[in-house]
Amino acid sequence: MENFVVNTGLIIAYILIAVGVLLAIVFPIINAISEPKTLVKSAIGLLGILVIYGISYAISDGELTRKFIDSGVTTETLSRMIGGALKMVYLLMFIAAAGIVYTEFNKTFIK
């Protein structure tokens, strides 16, 4: 009997997770279709991320070291893609930190 209760609880939990994931995907799509202006803002944000990744990819090198090859990175293109993604993350972290510092400075000294 105890095994049945545990299995039933797990099945209910899986169903609730699936419903939550489905609703998290469907409702933003419905909202975006009903208000097309939100799609423009999302497209601008996505374009900005792609531009930052393009710049990061352009400045990363495709050097293959023994450690990369042992990890499964076998081509220079893949090495540049990984390097570009890492540099993009570093750049976005720096931008976020600078934004936080600017906001706090602005709130403290300007107002």
pLDDT at 91: 93
pLDDT at 44: 92
pLDDT at 51: 95
The encoded tokens of residue 41 equal 């803002």
- Residue-wise pLDDT for 50-65, tens only, equals 999 999 999 998 888 8
pLDDT at 29: 86
CA distances from 92 to 30, 59, 67, 98 (A): 29, 15, 26, 10
pLDDT lower than 50: segments of the chain:
none
50/89 Cα distance (integer angstroms): 12
Question: With DSSP H G I counted as helix, E B as strand and the rest as coil, what are the percentages for the chain, rounded to 5?
Answer: 90, 0, 10
Determine the distance from the C-alpha atom of residue 30 to the mean position of all C-alpha atoms in its chain, rounded to a whole number. Answer: 22
56/88 Cα distance (integer angstroms): 6
pLDDT at 85: 94
